[in-house]
Amino acid sequence: MASLLSTKDNLDVLYEDNHIIAINKRVGDIVQGDKTGDKPLGEIVDEYLREKYNKPGNAFVGIVHRLDRPTTGLVIFAKTSKAMERLNAMFKEREMQKTYWAIVKNKPEQEQATLVNYITRNNQKNVCKAHIKEVPNSRYASLTYSVIGKLDNYYVLEVDLHTGRHHQIRAQLAAIGCPIKGDLKYGFSRSNPDGGISLHARRLSFIHPVKKEEIVIIAPTPDDAIWNSFLNTL
């Protein structure tokens, strides 16, 4: 079953004001253009804003962070250069609180733990490895997870990121024997029907870059049987 990609007409807008816009990304959406040539989410947001506000030229759409193509959930874009500059600084200084949900097959040894690893990246294969100790060309990575749900065959983890490394959650969970459902690249046994992985950027909390008030945005999970069965346990 192929996933339904985002377009300007079906864009799932979670929050919008004069400075920022937050989107619930679908499986298969790419945030920024890559070698595939597929239309990135940034361009789709631009089309959406131009049509909504009847703009004659391109809208300002600033990319401040990314999500992997097979991942779903919350992506925020800046609508002004001022907001982009401040959001970039907030991401760099770790002033954004990012929370993810992940479905895994195996239960972690501990119900809750902080994982500290050193991650290396193979650019040719676009895969990362989480090491216990520092190795050449590795980058420090830290996250905290907790088990928040148990289903018939899976567990649901909530993950709070302390750093923002490439494929960090995928690599660190795989390193403790808990690859994410559907993530063949990191050791899961089979793919998901839509080609995605069961990793969802659930929540983002931060101080608004212009209004200076706290903003909390939550992205609904994909409408599929396993996510829905988890939601029914809450």
Residues with a catalytic annotation lie at 68
Structure tokens at 70: 């097979």
Contact 116, 142 (CB under 8 A): yes
Contact 141, 130 (CB under 8 A): yes
Q: Which two tokens stand for residue 94?
A: 């770790």
Backbone angles phi, psi at 133, to 5 degrees: -115, 160
Which has the closest alpha carbon to 156: 180, 131, 184, 187?
Answer: 180
β partners of residue 75: 23
Q: E strands of the chain, at which residues?
A: 13-16, 20-25, 62-63, 72-78, 97-104, 112-122, 127-131, 139-150, 155-161, 199-207, 214-218
What percentage of the chain's residues is helix, strand, coil (to nearest 5)? 20, 35, 50
* Three-class SS state of 130: strand
